[in-house]
Structures are given as structure tokens and as C-alpha cells.
Amino acid sequence: MRFYRPTSPAVRQMSGIEYRKFITEKNPEKSLTIKLKARAGRNNKGRITVRHQGSGAKRSYRIIDFKQSVIGESAKVETIEYDPYRNAFIAKILSTNGARSYVIAPQGLNVGDIVKTSNDIADIKIGNRLALKDFPLGSFVYNVELKPGQGGKLARSAGTAVKVMAKEGNYISLQLPSGEVRKVLDMCLASLGSVSNPESKMVVIGKAGRARHMGTRPTVRGSAMNPVDHPYGGGEGRQMRGLRRPKNAWGKGTRGVKTRKRKNRSNVFIVSRRK
């Protein structure tokens, strides 16, 4: 973690990541980047339709290879880099066929290491990608597929990992970071380890300007609004909510309200819900 000199009241509590200890290359590979249009939560008329979104600082999107589905192809880690679109670090790898790509970097991966997608149980080491059926019980994996060949969907953010709990028929039971236990086909691919940069959840933004650079517009409390603008609005001075249940600006419940579809087709794969 990096802490700043208290040159102002806001900076006094501010903290960040000491990137120099982890990042080995500052500039990204140009062939693996694209420019995304910053819509900032506005529709084709320029009106805000999604609140609290801003364009933020100008940045390039790194194209990440979430599949890594070429079996037996080894790749050497060339650099560990920062990605402005995600809180985890990424690694640039060079395959034996000469192709370069970006992948999510796990904790403990270093420049010069070899990663590969394999069918051999002997290749169980940090960063290697195997089918879920090849991992021993109790292993922690990341970038897990929900369907074979789809590409990783689970455990892609900083510091997260999924635990391999049990094997039953053609399915593997996985414990997700939320505590949910879910069944996934044993042919789905996953990478061994946990995602890098676990300290990101400890970062204190500290000041409003830094949040604007990150693409967040100001958020106003409902109790500070007028009654026409929010169910919490109005009253003389600082008033209590005055409502039994919490609501958003449109009167929809916000806490203790189930948002998952009751007839969701993937319900059969959930062994136990998150606590």
C-alpha cells in the first residue's frame, strides 16, 4: 500500500497501490489495445439514463484472452502490466507460435514464468489452465468457465478465487467468493491460483477529484433532495427516512429484496445460496 503526505484534509486519508513493486512495463502492446467510446451513462440524445457515471480519464482498453483454449501451447510471461479497466494486474505472454496476448495475472506469477493450457495433471502450477476435473479437491482456481469453450466468467477481479469442493458425475462443485456453492461441468477450464492485487479492496479514494478520474459522477443522498425527486426528500432540517422499508429514487425496494428470477434456468446448478 502507498500512503500520501497530508497536504490537504482529503489526501490525509488517501491510499493507493505501490505499483512500482509489481508492474514491469508501463506502456501497453499497441496491437492488443482498442479505444472504447466513453458514453458515460447517456443515451443517443445526450441525456443521463444511468446515474453516477462519468467518462473519467482517457484510457485504452486491453484485449484480454479469457479463453486460453489452445491445448498444449506454452507461453512465456514477458511483462506484468496495469490495466485501467480492471483492478487486477494483467500479464503479456508470448506463445511458442509467436502470438502475443494479455491474460489475467495470478498472485505469484513473475516475468519469465511459463504458463500453458494442458491436459496433463503433472502441469498443476500457478497460472496453468486445466479442465476442472484435473484439479485436486481443495484447489483454488480463477477465471473459471461456466460453459466449455465460453471463456472465463467467474473469479476475475483482484484477490478472488474459487474453491474446488467436490466431484459428482460430470459436475464439479465450486465454492464462489460469495459463499455460494455451484455445480459446473467438469470439462470447463480454469486457471490455478488466485487473482493478483488483493490489496485493491483496501484502497481509500480520499477525494472527489480522484473518483471523477475513475469515471464516477457525484452521488447525492436521497434525504438531501426534495419530495418530488426522492421518497426520502423533504422536511425541515435533517429528517429521518420516515419510511419503514428502504427504497431507491423510483420507489423500488433496495434491501432484503430478491432480484433473481424465480424461474432462472441455472437455478438447478446452485447447490446452496450465498449467506
Q: Over the chain (275 residues), what is each successive 10-residue block's mean pLDDT?
A: 90 91 93 89 92 92 92 91 95 92 94 89 86 93 94 95 94 95 95 95 93 94 94 93 92 90 92 89
All three cell numbers of 188, joined, read: 470447463
> Looking at the chain, which residues constitute the CATH 2.40.50.140 domain(s)?
18-200
C-alpha cell at 132: 476442472
pLDDT at residue 122 in the model: 66
> What's the pLDDT score for residue 86?
94
**Phi, psi of 64, deg, nearest 5:** -100, 135
Please tell me the predicted confidence (pLDDT) of residue 17.
Answer: 93
Q: What is the pTM of this model?
A: 0.88
CATH topology of domain 220-275: Ribosomal protein L2; domain 3 (4.10.950)
Give the amino acid at 119. Answer: N
Show the cell assigned to 158. Answer: 483482484
Name the strand (E) or helix (H) holding 209. helix 208-213
Q: How far apart are CA 234 and CA 224, in angstroms?
A: 8
Residue 120 has a pLDDT of 78
**18-200 to CATH, choices 1.10.3720.10, 3.40.50.300, 2.40.50.140, 3.40.50.2300:** 2.40.50.140
Contact yes or no for 49/33 (Cβ under 8 A) = no
Question: What is the model's pLDDT at position 55?
Answer: 87
CATH 4.10.950.10 maps onto the chain at: 220-275
Supply 139's cell numbers: 484447489
Contacts of 107 (CB under 8 A, 6+ apart): 126, 159, 193, 194, 195, 196, 198
Number of Cβ atoms within 10 Å of the Cβ of 272: 11
Q: Are 231 and 222 in contact (CB under 8 A)?
A: yes
Helix (H, G, I), strand (E, B) or coil at 104: strand
CB burial readout 125-147, b (16+ within 10 A) else e: eebbbbbbebbeeebbbbbbbee
